[in-house]
Amino acid sequence: MKKEIPLQLKVAIGVLLAGAVILGGEYLLVKLYPRYQQRIAEKTLKLLPYRNDSLGIEMQVAAGLYGKVESFPGGVKIIRPRFWSFSPTLTITSQPNPDQAPEFSPQVLAKWQTAGTYEVIARYSFEHLKINRRDAVLIWQYKDRAMTLTARVISPERIIEADCLPGREDEDLYLQACEDSMRTLKVAGPEPPAPSPPAEVLELTRRGPINKSRQ
């Protein structure tokens, strides 16, 4: 007659096996998940070339944003379809520059810079910079229950505006993809002249006391 394994021993063995599985899972999670996240980030942020002659632009678009391209009058929309969440989109428009000014006016810059305060826009941030030697701005803001990054780049011929919605899958990662893409935006037309080097200043150093004439 076979001896049956006591119920308490079965329970103990089950608890030990469950603990081993949990510990093994935690070990794999700690060791492998950061590497998995790194691979996902590298794949998402990889830059791919994009050019649109009708808009007068070329740029590098992050792979996490690059997908279906839809053209409309004066612009284009690039959508990375997602079946389970809000899809990241990059919308780029081009309009003539009526003033033919190579830079945004101080009044316009001041308006954009203070819009977050006066219009009470959540998570608003403004940066005035050069993108491929063109005058440009970057504006982050929380709009329609999602973060949005807007870039505006001006040339004497046209003004380019790019609006990027990162979606809700990984907001920080896809916002970085938006920013990396926008910082590569190049507008067609003659390039502005390189900034002049600062003028050389000659410093006159007094090497000794000045001799006073004798009375």
| Residue 81: pLDDT over 60 | yes
Q: Select the more confidently predicted residue: 29 or 68.
A: 68
| Residue 199: pLDDT over 60 | no
| pLDDT at residue number 120 | 93
* Average pLDDT of the chain, as a whole number: 85
| Residue 34: pLDDT over 80 | no
| pLDDT at residue number 168 | 80
* Closest among 45, 175, 164 to 93, alpha carbons compared: 164
Both structure tokens of 100:
């033919």
| pLDDT at residue number 45 | 96
* Closest among 122, 123, 121, 98 to 111, alpha carbons compared: 121
User: How do residues 17-28 score in pLDDT, each as one tens digit?
Assistant: 666 666 555 555
User: How do residues 99-131 score in pLDDT, each as one tens digit?
Assistant: 999 999 999 999 999 999 999 999 999 999 999
| Residue 182: pLDDT over 70 | yes
Confidence of residue 144 (pLDDT cuts 50, 70, 90): confident
User: How do residues 38-50 score in pLDDT, each as one tens digit?
Assistant: 999 999 999 999 9
